């Protein structure tokens, strides 16, 4: 029986030193498997300047205008977040190749990539399904993609004054945050910006959303964990009459009075999970979670 022909969409960070070498190895492998290879335009152009052989590349694409059986993200966690925003609801698995430092989401090491691709061809791989948030506003047109795998942050724009964020959940008033901002995170994003602001770690399959204030004015304001079937509505007041909203790091200025609604998106992001990797082990090794940092005498 002839091997099934597969197609791959490749995203990458052109500034990673290992990207060019790893890309050569990927293209050689996929060429031998007679795969259809599509490369995101910005990454392709950066590699083209380094004279990477491109005979195995069938076409280049912009944004989310591609069809593929699988996506490959070559970089770090930031690259995977960008790839996830383009993959969106396509329901295809993403292989996150870690060419960076942390690699909490992008767990596949370069030396593990060939084996991971072998597993893709034999359908012998695990999948981590990660929830996504969607943000909507009826009062202002958004120019950024409103879907977040990690978090949506409401932030002040100026250095002098805090903002007031009136929050309600399923139509019921929750609290007014007087703070530098508010982070609404998925379990995936709980180990990112939210964690650095004192938020809890949420297990990926916990079906929860966390609201974590940024530098709150009151010590009585603490992070709160909600079920992920709720609808969160936010109204923002600011002395500068505007504020920033950041969706997985993609930011846009909104005007005071903009009503923001946040809820779980109707799709999930599917990340290929190496069989030898475990979530709690990753917490301990990558984030040094639970490590005794006291000096040993």
Q: Any bridge partners for residue 11, and if so which?
A: 73
Enumerate residues 6+ apart whose C-beta is below 8 A from 106: 73, 75, 76, 77, 79, 80, 96, 97, 98, 99, 100
- Among all residues, which ones are annotated catalytic? 77
First-to-last C-alpha distance (Å) of the chain:
64
Q: Which two tokens stand for residue 37?
A: 């290879």
CA separation for the pair 212, 221 (Å, rounded):
9
Parallel, antiparallel, or unpaired for β 163-169 and 172-179? antiparallel
Contact 91, 267 (CB under 8 A): yes
Which CA distances in Å does 11 have to 17, 96, 127, 259, 289?
A: 15, 10, 19, 34, 30
Which CA distances in Å does 27 have to 51, 66, 193, 253?
A: 13, 18, 34, 40
Q: Any bridge partners for residue 225, and if so which?
A: 210
CA separation for the pair 104, 76 (Å, rounded):
8
How deeply is 76 buried, as exposed, middle or buried, from its count of CB atoms within 10 A (0-12, 13-18, 19+)?
Answer: buried
Give the other-Cβ count within 10 Å of 105's Cβ.
26
CA separation for the pair 274, 166 (Å, rounded):
42
Q: Any bridge partners for residue 173, and if so which?
A: 168
């Amino acid at each position: 029986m002839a091997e099934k022909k597969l197609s791959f969409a490749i995203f990458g960070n052109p500034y990673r030193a290992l990207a060019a070498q790893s890309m050569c190895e990927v293209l050689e492998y996929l060429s031998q498997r007679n795969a259809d290879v599509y490369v995101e335009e910005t990454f392709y152009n950066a590699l083209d300047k380094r004279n990477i052989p491109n005979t195995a590349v069938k076409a280049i694409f912009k944004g989310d205008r591609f069809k593929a059986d699988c996506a490959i993200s070559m970089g770090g966690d930031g690259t995977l977040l960008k790839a996830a925003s383009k993959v969106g609801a396509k329901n295809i698995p993403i292989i996150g190749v870690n060419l960076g430092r942390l690699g909490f989401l992008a767990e596949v090491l370069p030396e593990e990539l060939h084996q991971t691709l072998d597993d893709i061809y034999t359908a012998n791989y695990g999948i981590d399904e990660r929830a996504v948030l969607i943000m909507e506003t009826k009062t202002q047109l958004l120019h950024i993609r409103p879907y977040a795998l990690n978090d949506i942050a409401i932030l002040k724009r100026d250095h002098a004054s805090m903002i007031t964020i009136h929050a309600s959940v399923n139509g019921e008033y929750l609290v007014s945050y007087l703070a530098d901002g508010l982070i609404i995170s998925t379990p995936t994003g709980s180990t990112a910006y939210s964690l650095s602001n004192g938020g809890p770690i949420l297990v990926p399959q916990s079906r929860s959303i966390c609201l974590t204030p940024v530098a709150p004015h009151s010590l009585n304001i603490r992070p709160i964990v909600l079920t992920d079937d709720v609808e969160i509505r936010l109204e923002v007041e600011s002395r500068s009459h505007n504020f920033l909203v950041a969706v997985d790091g993609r930011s846009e200025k909104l005007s005071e009075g903009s009503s923001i609604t946040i809820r779980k998106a109707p799709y999930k992001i599917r990340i290929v999970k190496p069989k030898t990797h475990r979530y709690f082990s990753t917490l301990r090794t990558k984030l040094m979670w639970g490590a005794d940092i006291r000096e040993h005498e």
